[in-house]
Structure 1
């Protein structure tokens, strides 16, 4: 289901890094130490923004990427 907040997400299971691009800015953030089951639940969430706020934001360390892509 599309999101009004999240433009795109990618997950690297080996590194357990979840990258999320946000709307409308296009800014990307890498969230570290995210278990695969959390990424699966994000993908299945009816409201990805609500899931992100409740289960990822403020729960995992992150860094902002230097470039805006996506």
Structure 2
């Protein structure tokens, strides 16, 4: 999955493919969040606080830690 680096104190990069948002955190952890729309991904890209966005919009989704 192609990842885009973002400006954030907590999130290093995010990507989207086939309904999955993937988030790489500054600590090296990588999570995938399932059943996400492309519009949610674009909202994430444009969010002023990426960490807050994760907590408000992604943590309640089905997720998997991959690293």
User: TM bucket by the smaller chain?
Assistant: 0.7 to 0.9
Runs of 5+ unmatched residues, structure 1: none
Runs of 5+ unmatched residues, structure 2: 1-5
Cross-structure match for 1:22:
25
Aligned residue pairs: how many?
A: 62
Query: Which deviations, in whole Å up to 9, do the C-alpha atoms of 1:5-44 show, x marking residues without a partner?
Result: 10111100xx201110012x21101111111111010000
SS in 1 for 2:56: helix
Flag as ranges the 4+ runs of structure 1 deviating above 4 A.
none
More strand by share: 2
Q: How well do the aligned residues superpose, as a CA RMSD in angstroms?
A: 1.2
Aligned-residue offset at 1:56: 1.0
